[in-house]
Structure 1
Amino acid sequence: MNNPRLLTGLLVATLLSGGVCARGSSPAVITLDEIFAAAEANSAQLRPSLTAVEEAEKEISVAQNGRLPEINANLNFSYIGDGFITKRNFSGYEKAPIPHFGSGAGVNVSQPVYTGGAVTNAIKMAELKSTAARYAAEFKRDNIRFQLTGFYLDIYKYTNLRNVVEQNISQARQVLAEMNARYEQGTALRNDITRYELLVSNLELQLIKINNVIDILNRNLVVTAGLPDETKVIPDSTILSRSLPTDGEAWWQQEASSNAPALKLARSGEEISKVAESLVKADKLPKIGLQAAWTIDGPILVEIPPINRNLSYWYVGVGVSYNLSSLYKTNKSLAKSKIATRKASEELDATRENIRLAVSSDYVSYLEAYEELKTQMKSVELAERNYHTTSTRYSADMALITDMLDAANSKLDAEQQLVNARINIIYYYYKLLFTSGKI
């Protein structure tokens, strides 16, 4: 494998996977880079692509064998029956004794000198297919990495949502305790307590659902990354505090043009089609090769009577062959190959356009995520202020229970949206990395 990124990943994974696996069922903080490294070493989904790279590299050696000489050797033994002689009208039958033991041996060597580019283009084709297999492996790896990123960030998001819900449950229980105390004093209604108990019950149900989602996401992440089944992943909280690059869209477009595996695959497809076209053209050219042979046969049957001796001879020379049927067969194959090349070129243009549009869309979403974060931070500030104000007024019998419920729900919703907004910045950043081939 010639790709340094894949090789480096495998080496890092070899060092890290043991540490990650050793954590067992105890929850532990695992960084996203460690997840990537473990997946590169252990992912069952990635393994076939890496094996395909090895297979394609072996095909190069097979294609290079076309430059080596062809050597054929033969050895035979036979029993020869007696013959007979007749006139042309099959009269005058006469038996012709022949030595019964026959033997033969020979060696033939043929070295291609000129094949019309067939051998050279076959080697080039194998090399291009090897490169394409490597790009396909990169593309598969990037897809797995982005999928893992989604699982990882979702675990982080739902973990934070769990914290938000737990805090709201704690606050709701405090309010409920205050309500019970006021009910004992005759200053609160039982209906108010029931409605707030319903709020707590809904929050507890939401907490159960969040825990189930986290378990499912953890299972998906662990299996996809090839980690031990009992691994419990705790996302690295520092991922939100990292300084993310602020390069403009033009920089991302340039990176995508150079690094996107989908674009590399499309370019390889165009090159492979061009070489396939050259291979078809090679059929219309003569083949030239050096030949050498030695043979020994006995008895000598071309004489009458046969001579019970061995005849040996050798020769060297130049062989020229030309497939005359290619004059009327190759034109149709060549026309088909030209159409395939044009199609590959059109697919390259379409892929380039799709990536350009994807980068532009992801970049806009990336910038929008920052604006959304600012808005949600302000929303949380206002929701908390409203909650505290309403709580104070409710304690002073200046607000209804419906006001408290609305304030609590607004605060919960704002806090949840803030968690989502923070995660979205990281998500769209990694989406840009994925689209541009830099994940």
Structure 2
Amino acid sequence: MNPFLKIKPFSILLLVSIHLYCTHGFAQQKDPETIILSLQEAVNLAKENNDWIAMAKLSKDVAESELKEIKSHALPHVVAQASGKKLSNVILYEHGLHDSESLPPPPSTYQANFGIEASFNLYSGGKHEAAIEESEIRTKLSEIKIEQQSGSISLQVIQNYLEILRLSKLDSLHKEQINREEIRLKNINSLYKNGKVTRSDVLRAEINLSNEQFSRKENQSDIQIFHNRLTVLLKIPEETNVILKDTAVASQISELTAFENPTANRAYSFLTAKENTALQEAKIKGAKSNFYPSIELISAYEFNYPNYLVFPNLDEAYSIGFIGFKMSYSLSSLYQNNHKVRAEKEHLKELKIKENAVQDHLKLELSSLKIKLKDTKEKIEIAKKNIEQSNVNLNIVSTKYFNQLALLTDLLEADNLYLQSKYKLIEAQTSLLNYYYQILYNTGKI
């Protein structure tokens, strides 16, 4: 007998229900999430989630903790100590190691001590102040690092966002072109059936259509690649369907280009170079402090047992304390520290030159971006005129071709000019926005 016939109908129904439920639940889990983001929302999400920004923030927390620790050195240094001992018998020897005698140590076999020592730095040649200044500058550098990392990630998000927009517009352009190619091929086939054109015209039109379909496929793959890059920057699942809200961002060009003359004084790299110079100056102060003595106020109070202050020693406890000062000076610093100070000064000269070089590089970069920005604005106006002219030209040549007054080569060339003029407009609009946001990044505004 078939063993499956022994299974009751209710059990079969239950198993099928469980299978359908699990399958439905699994399908629900696999459904990708869809989020709609504006350009600013994408930037804000990256600032919240991106790991590189999170690492920079943790570095700042570390720098702030180190600053607090260094500042705490200005407080008195206090040490509490206690000890307890049980002594063995004292072994006395006569005649070398012969004739030994064991006696309990006077006045007691037990010893105990408890005391507190405190010291307070009065003067150290500015060493502590230089250390605090160094730590404060390191904290500033960590803050600049956060801003720089945040600006860098924001710029990458913006560039990927704009690239997806550009490719999406190109996809629409390819789709429009494919529709036009299909209509043209249909009309050419009609002419071919009527014997008005040769087979080569049909083949040329088919090849043109295939090339356009191929280009669209490549473009769609590029969209997916930049989509994946954007999800990584936003730290969201790769399968998330991100819909870009600001599809008309390129139309805001007139507003975006109206900004003040860019300056490199707030650039992240320049601020970092400037703070590194200040840090080196603080290091020189710390190195010079080794030429000066160190003076401390010291104090202690302790309880002791037994009393070893008097002779013979007494089996009693006593307490005693003191207050005074301590001065120390390293004589070797007179011939060793000179080299260290000289090396730190040479390094400072190097950092000042680097600071000037960074500023010059930024000025050149901003100047180049301004030229490109102005040039791209002019290209946009030219591209708009070209679209109008090439559209008129396409219509004229198309009419001539279907009236047997022009060759297919002329029609395809006119069509290609029209397509290229629209493509150049999209490229110029995207480039203008890219240059604009690069200027913002180089001036420390994103």
1:276 and 2:283 correspond = yes
Equivalent position SS for 2:52: coil
Cα distance in 1 for residues equivalent to 2:353 and 2:243: 44
Match of residue 194, structure 2, among 170, 185, 188 = 185
Letter in 2 for 1:54: D
Residue 144 (1) aligns with residue 156 (2): no
Give SS of 1:297's match. strand
Instruction: State the distance in 2 between where 1:387 and 1:139 align.
Output: 49
Contact 1:276 1:337 survives alignment (8 Å): yes
Tell me: CA distance 1:85–1:305, structure 2 relative to 1, closer, same or farther (3 Å): farther
Segments of structure 2 that go 5 or more residues without pairing to the other structure are 1-30
Q: Is 1:237 aligned with 2:237?
A: no
Match 2:390 to one of 383, 387, 408 = 383
State the distance in 2 between where 1:297 and 1:325 align.
38
**How far is the alpha carbon of 1:79 from its aligned partner?**
2.1
Q: Kindly indicate whether the alpha-carbon contact (under 8 Å) linking 2:47 and 2:153 is maintained by their aligned counterparts in 1.
A: no
Distance 1:142 1:169 in 2: 40
Matched AA of 1:117: G
Q: Work out the CA distance in 1 between the residues paired with 2:128 and 2:151.
A: 35
1:115 CA drift (Å): 2.0
Residue 115 of structure 1 is matched in structure 2 by 124
3-state secondary structure, aligned to 1:76: strand
Residue number among 435, 438, 441 corresponding to 1:434 in the alignment: 441
Aligned to 2:230: 221
45-54 or 267-276, which deviates more = 45-54
Distance 1:236 1:49 in 2: 29
Q: Does 1:329 align with 2:336?
A: yes
Once residues 75 and 377 of structure 1 are traced to their aligned partners in structure 2, the CA distance between those partners, rounded to angstroms, is 88
- In angstroms, what is the RMSD of aligned CA positions? 2.3
5 Å-filtered alignment, 1:138-217, equals 138-217=147-226
Deviation at 1:62, TM superposition (A): 0.7
Separation (CA, whole Å) in 2 of partners of 1:291 and 1:347: 46
Identify the residue that residue 144 of structure 2 maps to in structure 1: 135
Structure 2 residue aligned with 1:264: 271
1:72 alignment partner, SS class: strand
**Structure 1 residues 262 and 144 mapped into 2: Cα distance closer, same or farther (>3 Å)?**
same
SS at match of 1:419: helix
Rounded Cα–Cα distance in structure 2 between residues aligned with 1:417 and 1:198: 23
TM-score normalised to structure 1 length: 0.88
Does the Cα contact within 8 Å between 2:47 and 2:154 map onto a contact in 1? no
Residue in 1 that maps onto 2:354 = 347
Name the CA shift for 1:113/1:27 in 2 (closer, same or farther; >3 Å): closer
Match of 1:7 in 2: none
Q: Aligned-pair distance for 1:47?
A: 1.1
Partners of 2:103 and 2:339 lie apart in 1 by: 56
Distance in structure 2 (CA, Å) of the matches to 1:345 and 1:178: 72
Given that 1:156 and 1:235 are in contact with CA atoms closer than 8 Å, whether structure 2 keeps it comes out as no
Three-state SS of the structure 2 residue aligned to 1:252 is coil
Give CA deviations for 1:91-122 in whole Å, capped at 9, x if unaligned.
99776630321211111011122222122221
What is the one-letter code of the residue matched to 1:284?
A: F
Q: How many residues align?
A: 411
CA contact (8 A) 2:89 2:103 kept: yes
Aligned with 2:38 (options 25, 31, 39): 31
* Secondary structure, aligned partner of 1:46: helix
- Among 378, 381, 387, the alignment partner of 1:374 is 381
Larger radius of gyration: 2
Task: Give percent identity, aligned residues only.
Answer: 23
Rounded to whole Å, the distance in 1 between the matches of 2:243 and 2:437 is 19
CA contact (8 A) 1:218 1:233 kept: no
- Superposed CA offset, 1:166-221 (max 9, x none): 11111111111111222222222222111111111111111111111011111101
Letter in 1 for 2:167: Y
